Chain A
Amino acid sequence: MRVLAALSGGVDSAVAAARAVDAGHDVVGVHMALSRNRDQFRTGSRGCCSIEDAGDARRAADVLGIPYYVWDLSERFEQTVVADFVAEYEAGRTPNPCVRCNEHIKFEALLDKGVALGFDAVCTGHYARIETGADGRRELHRARDAAKDQSYVLAVMGPERLARAMFPLGDAASKDDVRAEAAARGLGVSAKPDSYDICFVADGDTQGFLRERLGSRPGDVVDVDGVVVGAHDGAYAFTVGQRKGLGIDRPAADGRPRYVLDVRPSSNTVVVGAAELLTVRGLRGERAVWFGSLGRDEGAGDARDEDHAWTACRVQVRAHGAPVAARARVVAGPDGPGSGVEVALDEPLRGVAPGQSVVLYDGTRVLGQATVAASVR
């Protein structure tokens, strides 16, 4: 196959590309330039946006003996990932930009351009496995190394795009193994630190980034009875479940810590209250993406929500959160029949922020994913 290997300049994507070369594919490396004004050097733990990272990617391609290109996807990244990030916070939700990047950039902009240019697949350094099910369909599974598993942020691509994806690190035993493999292959990036912050937010200062884009919007912090207990400089900077930096000037009557329960952009208020009020017993998701039978058979047609059966599964609501037992059913969503999901949690969760992804699993297999629209308390 002709394989387009996304090279970030980090160790994972370099080893993934190397494994694709070993597998006999015709591999071309591409580094995505996602920011117009890139830093000269990598600073801290931010992703792959510096010119130094582009140089590391080029060097990895040289070591592997594959062609290397830089594709400028910065405009598309700004229009989709960054714009969505700001708009979601502004709407009182908590977005996951890595999910949006996989959705719009890696497995859309990059993949579509690659396919148009004659490539068969996009190879990345993500930790997830792709398997073929009994019905011949491609399935997305958790990585062998549960600690590195990234199926949560990949589920958004859906089955059609999964058919064009290649994750050679899905079977890696651990990140240490991947680093050792990189060193053995002579890849100079073997000891490069992991990236975990949001790549386009400098110094991990999300609030500062949002303030720069959205400006100051003073409003009230209220309790569940609507009593004003404090002031804020912009409701967009708060996340459900947040405890610190609430700007409350007097303690609660019961003296217990208070958490953000709700962010209401319409009234520019932040609602706070006691921890137990964060308890979530169910979720409603929209923009659902289905793998396999769940969406295909039961999401079609104009069946009413009640017609859909509940399926036992495990759900994960955070990138590194533990999955919990639940029952889920396909429902109608804003995008039509089958575009929503209703989740009843067997065990309650605490503080699920709208805007985050909920991913449904059957064992290691991804059943589907949706964006949390509301939680049921």
Chain B
Amino acid sequence: MSGAQDRLPRLLALVPYLLARPGIRIDDAAADFGVSAKQLRKDLELLWMCGLPGYGPGDLIDISFDEDTVTITFDAGMNRPLRLTGAEATALLVALRALVDTPGVADADAIRRAVAKIEAAAGQARPAGVAVGLGVREGAGAAKAREVVQRALGAGRALRMTYYTASKDEMTERVVDPMRMLIVDGRGYLEAWCRRAEDVRLFRLDRIDEAVVLEEAAAAPPYAEPTDTSSGLFRAEPDQRTATLVLEPDARWVSEYYPVEDVQEVDGGRLRVSMRYADTSWMVRLLLGLGGEVRVEQPVELAQRLRRQAAEAVARMDRHLAAT
């Protein structure tokens, strides 16, 4: 928030902000406005030139400083912030409402009270035209897992859990050091240091089958970095393979669901995509399920393995049918 465009709103907010906090440290004010202390001093210097017509002593905004702190002694009539714009009210209220219905996120009652107060203060700036439902699908299992996970997070304890790893289609026992919970695209996750993988991992709550809070304190190593989810949960890794797929119209959802690159329209509403995958058995499961809706162009080994496993499955079914 340091561009020239952001400066005027900041200047207008600064006077009432400081008025409400006499003697605030300049560093703290700068942090609240998301600018450097140097920029904030420049802003104050500018405001100090501004005031009411006449522009003499007693008309100009007056600011008193000492080494680190600042106090407004005359506000020139700018003692309240500008009302919220429609866009601002929308962004804030829609986000608050989205959180109300999300299990375990925050105190729903506090959110409702905040919404009511902001609506009352915002007055005519009615939010409209944007709605957000995080739509977290939480079955009974995931709800139980979430409660245990939140207990562990709250108490700062390690967690033992039975976890279903979809990529390998296997159940594993793990001891993890919980770091935080996240909701991404309607799904709840636990981010934790996994002692088994010796790395930070995201665990889907609906894949945690059993979880026990341990006596032991959670101790993620200091170098355990939170995952950057700003571009989704999939991350390109060097050891991943890439398949070239042609998706029939009925399988186009794959391109919206999984991370694909080099998307190319082909005739008949089909789509050619490159898709990264870490685990071949997982990829084969996906492709088997898509049946004839997808054609594997590359790699050849994947296409062969897919055909072979499909043929084996059909053969088994037919032998089973013949035997009964």
Do A and B pair up? The answer is: no
B interface residues (Cβ-Cβ under 8 A, vs A)? none
Seen from chain A, the residues whose Cβ lies within 8 Å of a Cβ on chain B are: none
